Structure 1
Amino acid sequence: MLKTLASLPRSVWLIGLISLVNDSASEMLYPLMPLYLASVLMAGPKAIGLIEGVAEATSSLFKLVSGVIVNKTNKTKPWIVFGYSVAAIGRPLIAFVGSWFGVLCIRFADRLGKGLRSSPRDTLLAESVPANQRGITFGLHRSMDNLGAVIGPLLAAYLLAIQMPLREIFMWAIIPGAITVVLALCLKEPARNISSIAPTKFVWSLAGFPPQFKRYILVVGLFALSNSSDMFLLLRARELGVPQEEIPLLWAGISLITAVFGTPLSALSDRFSRKYFIACAWAIYALIYVGMGYSGLTLGWLCGLFVLYGLFKAGTEGVEKALVADLAPPGLTGRAFGWFNMCSGIMLLPASFIFGVLYEAYSPTAAFLFSGGCAFLSLLLLVFWVFRTPKHA
């Protein structure tokens, strides 16, 4: 594995470094958002669900837009640079808002930037390496991204420990944001073969994709209905007795597990079937959410479930994207990632909103059982429908 890592192109490592720096800023703020919304802006679970749902749905829609544009123009770098620039400008502005609606507007802009950069970035990664290196490539990217998600919460925990106000912490995000934009300007377009010639018009549909890819996209969308905002996991931890200053550390622990195991697990999927990795990870996810809803959950079991959540992320984040590249016909990689990223994110709006309503109106148990049930149904469809063996007459 180390030899393969060393042979990966410069652009793969550079994108990983960009994600590391960007997530250091993003994840420094992410675990503080529910605390900021609840303690400073006096927003409840329903408001948090609405904010995160709208933000992620926006990101998802623009992931399809940017993916289609990439296939039309064969250009990835401009959208990557622009997307990171929007996020770098938007995040520090959270310090100046006076209501949760202001946070909603800024999160909208931040996720707009993510939507515009994600599919072009994934396309650049997929087209920079051969098919037998896609797993390790996407795994490396996700590991470096999650390493940033370790650094960010640790910075947040330190700043909280020295009693820096939440508003000032948000302002510090401008520094890594600027570094990210500079690094993105250093990217180069990958070499493309004749099969990647741009089409004569914009194509938005799934025309030209194999049936298995279409089934996979549908089930990914259903699974996303179970995958509400991670802020609810942090809110649950706070309610179960985890001190406020330790919330960022808990989130950093999840990201550290994902960073450590993401690359080796994704590399294994280059040698074995990717579908088994995804199926096992989805089964773990369903168990995690059922467990999180248990009313008698102790802090010890809570930490165990958070460890499993880190392993779930490690076993899916890179492998799912590698599978998209495997199933995409030549020349349609951008649109394939556009549809995958959109369907895996567009359902976060209803997912987060429904979860927030169930959490506030009924109980945390009802909300977590709903998500666990959706995940289990998705697992069954993945195994018995998406990857079914076709019958030949």
Structure 2
Amino acid sequence: MENKMEKDKPGKKNPYDPVSEIAAQGPFPGIKKNVFVLGVVSFLQDVSSEMIYPLLPLFLAQVLGVSKAYIGLIEGTAETTASLMKIASGWLSDRLRKRKALVFWGYFLSTIAKPFLALTTAGWQVLGLRFMDRLGKGVRTSPRDALIADSTPVATRGKSFGFHRAMDTLGAVFGPLIAFVLLPLFNNNYRPIFLLALIPTSLALLMIIFFVAEKRAVASGDVSLPKLSLRSFERKFKMLLLVIILFTLGNSSDAFLILRAQNVGVATVLIPIVWFMFNTVYSSVAFLGGALSDRIGRKRVVIMGFLVYSLVYLGFAFAFQPFHIWTLFAVYGIYYGLTDGVLRAFVVD
């Protein structure tokens, strides 16, 4: 009774706002509205990206005549750009205490890059556009993950990141499926598909503008502004970062797995379906992987994922039949589902 009277005293601010709380809820239990909307945004973005990605190595090799070494250079440059920008954009969003603007501009850069792939005639042009696309990914990823964390209670953080990754990957399920349907309609011409990929990613931009709300976990006067230095981070985070760096150094691009699939005998028209199956498994496991990490810990789930990864790459080295490829891509989806969203939650923790 005393607590209630204290809470109701004039001038005493009540931290609980039922109207705001209801407005913040999404359509799924335990998933906040911001998390749900960002999940839909990622779904649309990945529909667009995955209409292109499984076809891009084939486009480079078959249409532009680019060597496998140059394909590796393109993908290596793209992913390195994304990784470095994630660090800078995360720091910048903490300094500005504004996530939404960086999320929007990151998606905008990727949106601009995609349709221009249809106009390319040389490998260096694809390199430039992939750089822009991954630059956009690097700009948006850390602020988006921080916005998810800001919108979510600690107790359901793994579930929220798992939901987001599941939605992201669900888009990656539909993207290749759309590409599979469109390929024969355009007589295996990749360029019109690259142009059509502009539609879902444009819808994602509109979702950000109208439905994503800015969240501020901490008022600007409560903590000192962060500096771009590893010294301020905990030892556990530094160790996790070291593990991720070492793992990434030994990790190859998925583009080579797609080329490996074709080399073993998977027909070009079926490559999007292989990617569709991979992402179906990934999407199915991602939400479960996040929920499992809330129960048994992030570290155990990530270790399980890394073990699966090792077995998959060993399998690709010895695969010689198309059905081997189908099986390996399915198991590869389990690896992604166990690690992608969980690693993000691990970093936030």
Question: Partners in 2 of 1:199 and 1:43 — Cα distance?
Answer: 49
- Return the match for 1:145 from 162, 165, 168: 168
Question: Partners in 2 of 1:308 and 1:262 — Cα distance?
Answer: 13
Deviations 1:328-370 (A, max 9, x none): xxxxxxxxxxxxxxxxxxxxxxxxxxxxxxxxxxxxxxxxxxx
1:5–1:317: structure 2 CA closer, same or farther, 3 Å change rule? farther
Q: Is 1:207 aligned to 2:226, yes or no?
A: no
User: What pairs with 1:314-393 in structure 2 (closer than 5 Å)?
Assistant: 314-326=337-349
Q: Secondary structure at the match of 1:268?
A: helix
Q: CA deviation at 1:190?
A: 1.6
In the other structure, the counterpart of 1:275 is: 299
Deviations 1:98-138 (A, max 9, x none): 10100000111111111110000000011111111111111
Q: Is 1:8 aligned to 2:31, yes or no?
A: yes
- Return the match for 1:33 from 56, 71, 74: 56
In the other structure, the counterpart of 1:380 is: none
Are the equivalent residues in 1 in contact too, given 2:293–2:342 (CA < 8 A)?
yes
In the other structure, the counterpart of 2:197 is: 173
Structure 1 stretches of 4+ moved >6 Å: none
User: What pairs with 1:1-393 in structure 2 (closer than 5 Å)?
Assistant: 5-162=28-185, 163=187, 165-186=189-210, 187-194=212-219, 197=222, 199-200=224-225, 203-294=227-318, 297-326=320-349
Deviations 1:247-301 (A, max 9, x none): 000001010111112101211111112111111110110111111111x532222
Are the equivalent residues in 2 in contact too, given 1:66–1:115 (CA < 8 A)?
yes
Are the equivalent residues in 2 in contact too, given 1:71–1:199 (CA < 8 A)?
no
Question: Partners in 2 of 1:195 and 1:304 — Cα distance?
Answer: 51
The residue type equivalent to 1:318 in the other structure is G
Q: CA deviation at 1:196?
A: 8.1
1:164–1:197: structure 2 CA closer, same or farther, 3 Å change rule? farther
Deviations 1:127-154 (A, max 9, x none): 1111111111111111100000011001
Question: Partners in 1 of 2:316 and 2:177 — Cα distance?
Answer: 24
Are the equivalent residues in 2 in contact too, given 1:18–1:183 (CA < 8 A)?
yes
Are the equivalent residues in 2 in contact too, given 1:72–1:199 (CA < 8 A)?
no
Question: Partners in 2 of 1:7 and 1:119 — Cα distance?
Answer: 22
Q: CA deviation at 1:22?
A: 0.4
Q: Secondary structure at the match of 1:31?
A: coil
Question: Partners in 2 of 1:177 and 1:130 — Cα distance?
Answer: 29
Are the equivalent residues in 1 in contact too, given 2:97–2:220 (CA < 8 A)?
no
Q: How many residues align?
A: 322
Question: Partners in 2 of 1:199 and 1:87 — Cα distance?
Answer: 33
Q: Secondary structure at the match of 1:176?
A: helix
The residue type equivalent to 1:44 in the other structure is S
Q: Select the structure of larger CA radius of gyration.
A: 2
Question: Partners in 2 of 1:271 and 1:4 — Cα distance?
Answer: 23
The residue type equivalent to 2:250 in the other structure is S
Q: What is the RMSD of the two structures over their aligned residues, measured on CA atoms?
A: 1.7
Q: Could you tell which deviates more after superposition, 180-189 or 231-240?
A: 180-189
Question: Partners in 1 of 2:144 and 2:48 — Cα distance?
Answer: 19
Question: Partners in 2 of 1:217 and 1:192 — Cα distance?
Answer: 24
Higher relative contact order (CA 8 A, sep 6+): 1
Q: CA deviation at 1:8?
A: 1.6
In the other structure, the counterpart of 1:391 is: none
Q: CA deviation at 1:208?
A: 2.2
The residue type equivalent to 1:288 in the other structure is V
Question: Partners in 2 of 1:193 and 1:209 — Cα distance?
Answer: 18
Question: Partners in 1 of 2:331 and 2:91 — Cα distance?
Answer: 35
In the other structure, the counterpart of 1:339 is: none
Question: Partners in 1 of 2:188 and 2:262 — Cα distance?
Answer: 20
Deviations 1:188-241 (A, max 9, x none): 1124234885644x6111122221111110111000112221111111000000
Q: What are the ranges of 5 or more consecutive residues in structure 2 without an aligned counterpart?
A: 1-25
Are the equivalent residues in 1 in contact too, given 2:30–2:156 (CA < 8 A)?
no
Deviations 1:361-386 (A, max 9, x none): xxxxxxxxxxxxxxxxxxxxxxxxxx
In the other structure, the counterpart of 2:20 is: none
Q: What are the ranges of 5 or more consecutive residues in structure 1 without an aligned counterpart?
A: 327-393
Are the equivalent residues in 2 in contact too, given 1:89–1:177 (CA < 8 A)?
no
Are the equivalent residues in 1 in contact too, given 2:97–2:216 (CA < 8 A)?
no
Q: Secondary structure at the match of 1:293?
A: helix
